[in-house]
């Protein structure tokens, strides 16, 4: 078993990292034994307006889940990411922006960031935004995305960032849920040489929901877009009309910082709510220790700011640490598949943090496009978003890292705010494919289906026994849904939705979701969302969606579709349905395979048996388990005979 393959901590890492193996054990033990003492001390890593005297006040009691950290402290997150660095590093680069076109780049110092954020904050204020108001941000990967997010934090507005790949319908649903009246967007985005009609998507979303009174448009491509008089304003016009200075709002540690929508097994995406103090402290601390970030290091997280990884590890973690954070507008294979490594050489990147799906896609192009670049500046490689298969891990390690750079495979979720299970590069021996050990303060537990805690080497469902500062506080506007989703399955514990194995060395191996969430190229979505998009099509009567193993995407989307009476399956209809889902949710949710099936396997009470559909999609139909409870067992033969070819 590949369990036995172990990479030792390199000697130079042991010597110079913040934490070596002995220190990890000592700090971890302390963090568990005395969370109040441990986190109380850590609180001083951020600047408070009023220092907290209380540390942890949390309960997972399913009748009354309540999570508060540092509740009597006050602070401002933007101040921590920008203003507090000015005395020492006003002239230091805060952001390196690398455009989609390799000829486009710029740097922004902390002083410039300070100036730009204040102007943006004043623009928001001038449009009536106040503390506690929700501001929706639908932006490409340009510096103004970061600036607008920090501007919200500065004035105490709650940002809700929507990934630029989402459709007008998805934007509309999120606008409606958080009732935001102000949207920040750009005329168009630019990715891989292609234009993304961001403003047009916002217009279409606004046509579906009322209530938006301001759309602020940053010029990216300069193309002419529809501008609704009285509602739509170009950012650069508004910026000319406001003062240069804007003070930071004093926020309570438990005041909301942002909402980020994420998919679960049922229903509409949930508005995951993060608050200010605990989140910021946790993002900052994990960024420093997991990436062993030292002053002057050039750090690059390739995620989009529309996902939690962008929030915590492009913006709040690195900037609170005074880091140099690279923001990349493009994609790994444009103009060529050497792009990632060329960016590393161009900006002398020391730490790169990316997703297994990108690694697997680049692997297909072989070593050539990597080896023609130097990559000498790289010291540490990171992975996030989905399990990294050992083959991809080894390729990342040997081909990209030239056997020189440790890999930190970081497991966490939108809900967790920051990294929970991860190696620390100076402390942890690495096993390819394992996220290894818990971060400070984190107590993973593996439970069986009945909730019994399993000890030692075992596998089951992954829970976390107690709270950590970066944890989400509620589902926006629906605390009961928060409780039902995360604290009811295994009362008294936070249930992650992931399956997990622990080996004899106490290493954790995340095996993927055990609920109806799929992870396609690191994009998390509920199968129910894709199903409801499909059944919204006039010709579809019923749909069931499952994931299946996909060489590059990790999981692909397999849809079983039953048509309305009288409709005939055809290639055209297949294409039409794929286009339909792209339009309804976004391009990343388009089914890879559609199987037209006259019926779906259902129990006599009418429940679709997804277990069977999953097995057929995985080509494991020799082993379907018990099918005797099916209303019509003959359906299964038809499904097997007409299954879609993966190649
Ligand atoms: C940060 C992020 C969360 C889900 C999570 C799990 C999967 C993330 C992983 C990983 C194995 C890792 N996941 N990191 N699985 N190893 N290192 O991705 O948040 O988009 O909310 O997704 O992603 O299944 O439950 P999010």
Residue 609 has a pLDDT of 86
Distance 227 CA to ligand 1 centre (A): 38
Reported as a pLDDT band with limits 50, 70 and 90, residue 2 is very low
- Average pLDDT of the segment spanning 388-405: 97
Residue 59 has a pLDDT of 98
Please choose from 519, 521, 525, 588 the residue to mutate so as to test ligand 1's pocket, defined by most ligand atoms within 8 A of CB.
519
pLDDT digits (tens, 9 = 90+) for 17-49: 999 999 999 999 999 999 999 999 999 999 999
Distance 602 CA to ligand 1 centre (A): 31
- Average pLDDT of the segment spanning 238-259: 98
Dihedral-angle region of residue 334 (phi above 0 means left; psi in -120 to 50 means alpha; beta otherwise): beta
- Average pLDDT of the segment spanning 359-370: 95
Mean predicted lDDT score pLDDT of the chain: 96
Residue with tokens 């006003």: 90
Structure tokens at 75: 């602070």
Structure tokens at 299: 């750090």
Residue 603, pLDDT > 90, answer no
Locate the ligand 1 atom nearest the alpha carbon of residue 524 and give its number.
20
Please choose from 279, 392, 413 the residue to mutate so as to test ligand 1's pocket, defined by most ligand atoms within 8 A of CB.
413
Burial label, 191 (beta-carbon count in 10 A; 0-12, 13-18, 19+): middle
Distance 597 CA to ligand 1 centre (A): 32
pLDDT digits (tens, 9 = 90+) for 69-115: 999 999 999 999 999 999 999 999 999 999 999 999 999 999 999 99
Annotated binding site for Mg(2+): 535, 537, 540
CATH number of 521-642: 3.30.300.30
Q: Which residues line ligand 1 (CB under 6 A)?
A: 262, 307-309, 383-387, 409-414, 435, 496-498, 510, 512-513, 519, 524
CA 584 vs CA 176, 177, 460: distances in Å: 16, 17, 35
Q: How far apart are CA 565 and CA 587, in angstroms?
A: 29
Residue 541, pLDDT > 80, answer yes
Residue 3, pLDDT > 70, answer no
Please, are residues 205 and 173 in contact by the beta-carbon 8 Å criterion?
no
Reported as a pLDDT band with limits 50, 70 and 90, residue 471 is very high
Locate the ligand 1 atom nearest the alpha carbon of residue 262 and give its number.
21
Residue 605, pLDDT > 80, answer no
The residue whose CA has the least distance to atom 12 of ligand 1 is: 411
- Average pLDDT of the segment spanning 329-342: 97
The residue whose CA has the least distance to atom 5 of ligand 1 is: 413
Strand partners, 353: 301, 382
Reported as a pLDDT band with limits 50, 70 and 90, residue 165 is very high
The residue whose CA has the least distance to atom 22 of ligand 1 is: 413
Please, are residues 258 and 280 in contact by the beta-carbon 8 Å criterion?
no
Distance 62 CA to ligand 1 centre (A): 24
The residue whose CA has the least distance to atom 16 of ligand 1 is: 387
Distance 284 CA to ligand 1 centre (A): 19
Residue 311, pLDDT > 90, answer yes
Q: How far apart are CA 435 and CA 304, in angstroms?
A: 22
Distance 412 CA to ligand 1 centre (A): 5
Residue 302, pLDDT > 50, answer yes
pLDDT digits (tens, 9 = 90+) for 615-638: 999 988 877 877 777 888 888 989
**Distance from CA of residue 534 to its chain's centroid?**
25
Locate the ligand 1 atom nearest the alpha carbon of residue 512 and give its number.
24
Annotated binding site for CoA: 191-194, 309, 333, 521, 582
Dihedral-angle region of residue 332 (phi above 0 means left; psi in -120 to 50 means alpha; beta otherwise): alpha
pLDDT digits (tens, 9 = 90+) for 59-76: 999 999 999 999 999 999
Distance 69 CA to ligand 1 centre (A): 24
Distance 534 CA to ligand 1 centre (A): 26
Residue 187, pLDDT > 90, answer yes
Residue 212 has a pLDDT of 98
Reported as a pLDDT band with limits 50, 70 and 90, residue 325 is very high
- Average pLDDT of the segment spanning 461-486: 98
Locate the ligand 1 atom nearest the alpha carbon of residue 388 and give its number.
16
CA 435 vs CA 288, 417, 463, 466, 558: distances in Å: 18, 17, 15, 19, 28
Residue 625 has a pLDDT of 79
The residue whose CA has the least distance to atom 1 of ligand 1 is: 413
The domain segmentation of the chain, as residue ranges, is 521-642
CA 504 vs CA 339, 452, 456, 508: distances in Å: 40, 19, 6, 10
Please choose from 510, 547, 554 the residue to mutate so as to test ligand 1's pocket, defined by most ligand atoms within 8 A of CB.
510
Distance 65 CA to ligand 1 centre (A): 23
- Predicted TM-score (pTM) of the model is 0.95
Torsion angle defined by CA atoms of residues 325, 329, 332 and 333, in that order, rounded to the nearest 10 degrees:
-150
Please name which of 408, 413, 454 lies closest in space to residue 434, comparing C-alpha atoms: 408
């Amino acid at each position: 078993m590949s369990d036995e393959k172990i990479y030792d901590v390199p000697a130079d890492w042991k010597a110079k990292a913040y934490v070596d193996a002995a220190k990890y054990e000592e700090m971890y033990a302390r963090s568990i034994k005395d969370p109040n003492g441990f986190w109380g001390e850590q609180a001083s890593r951020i600047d408070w307006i009023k220092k907290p005297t209380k540390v942890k006040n949390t309960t997972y009691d399913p009748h009354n889940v309540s999570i508060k950290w540092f509740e009597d402290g006050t602070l401002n997150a933007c101040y921590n990411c920008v203003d507090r660095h000015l005395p020492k590093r006003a002239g230091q680069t805060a952001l390196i922006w690398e455009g989609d076109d390799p000829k486009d780049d710029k740097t922004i110092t902390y002083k410039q960031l300070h100036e730009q954020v204040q102007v943006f904050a004043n623009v928001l204020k001038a449009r009536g935004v106040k503390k506690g108001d929700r501001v929706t941000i639908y932006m490409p990967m340009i510096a103004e995305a970061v600036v607008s997010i920090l501007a919200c934090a500065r004035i105490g507005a709650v940002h809700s960032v929507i990934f630029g790949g989402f459709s007008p319908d998805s934007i509309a649903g999120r606008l409606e849920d958080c009732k935001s009246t102000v949207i920040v967007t750009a005329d168009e985005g630019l990715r891989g040489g292609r234009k993304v009609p961001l403003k047009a998507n916002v217009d279409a979303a606004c046509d579906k929901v009322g209530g938006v009174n301001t759309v602020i448009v940053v010029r990216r491509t300069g193309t002419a877009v529809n501008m609704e008089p009285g509602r739509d304003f170009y950012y650069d016009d508004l910026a000319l009309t406001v003062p240069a200075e804007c003070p930071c709002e004093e926020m309570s540690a438990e005041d909301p910082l942002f909402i980020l929508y994420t998919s679960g097994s049922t229903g509409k995406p949930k508005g995951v709510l993060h608050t200010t103090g605990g989140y910021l402290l946790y993002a900052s601390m994990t960024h420093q220790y997991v990436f062993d970030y030292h002053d002057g290091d050039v750090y690059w997280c390739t995620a989009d700011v529309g996902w939690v990884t962008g929030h915590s590890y492009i913006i709040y973690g690195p900037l609170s640490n005074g880091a140099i954070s690279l923001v990349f507008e493009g994609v790994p294979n444009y103009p060529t598949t050497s792009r990632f490594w060329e960016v590393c050489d161009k900006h002398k990147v020391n730490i790169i943090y990316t997703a297994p799906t990108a690694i697997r896609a680049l692997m297909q192009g072989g070593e050539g496009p990597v080896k023609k670049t130097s990559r000498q500046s790289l010291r540490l490689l990171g992975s996030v978003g989905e399990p990294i298969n050992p083959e991809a891990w080894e390729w990342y390690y040997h081909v990209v890292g030239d056997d020189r750079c440790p890999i930190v495979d970081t497991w966490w979720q939108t809900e967790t705010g920051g990294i929970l299970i991860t190696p620390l590069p100076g402390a942890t021996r690495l096993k390819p494919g394992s996220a290894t050990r818990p971060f400070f303060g984190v107590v993973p537990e593996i439970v069986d289906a009945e909730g019994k805690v399993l000890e030692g080497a075992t596998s089951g469902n992954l829970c976390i026994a107690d709270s950590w500062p970066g944890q989400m506080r509620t589902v926006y506007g629906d605390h009961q849904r928060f409780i039902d989703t995360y604290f009811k399955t295994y009362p008294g514990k936070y249930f992650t939705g992931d399956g997990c194995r622990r080996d004899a060395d106490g290493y954790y191996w995340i095996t993927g979701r055990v609920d109806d969430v799929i992870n396609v190229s690191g994009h998390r979505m509920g199968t129910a969302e894709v199903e409801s998009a499909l059944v919204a099509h006039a010709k579809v009567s019923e749909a069931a969606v499952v994931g299946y193993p996909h060489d590059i995407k990790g999981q692909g989307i397999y849809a079983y579709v039953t048509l309305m009476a009288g409709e005939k399956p055809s290639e055209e209809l297949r294409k039409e349905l794929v286009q339909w889902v792209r339009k309804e949710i976004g391009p990343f949710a388009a089914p890879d395979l559609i199987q037209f099936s006259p019926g779906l396997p259902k129990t006599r009470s009418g429940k679709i048996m997804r277990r069977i559909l999953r097995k057929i999609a995985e080509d494991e139909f020799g082993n379907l388990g018990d099918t005797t409870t099916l209303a019509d067992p003959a359906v299964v033969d038809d499904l097997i005979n007409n299954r879609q070819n993966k190649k």
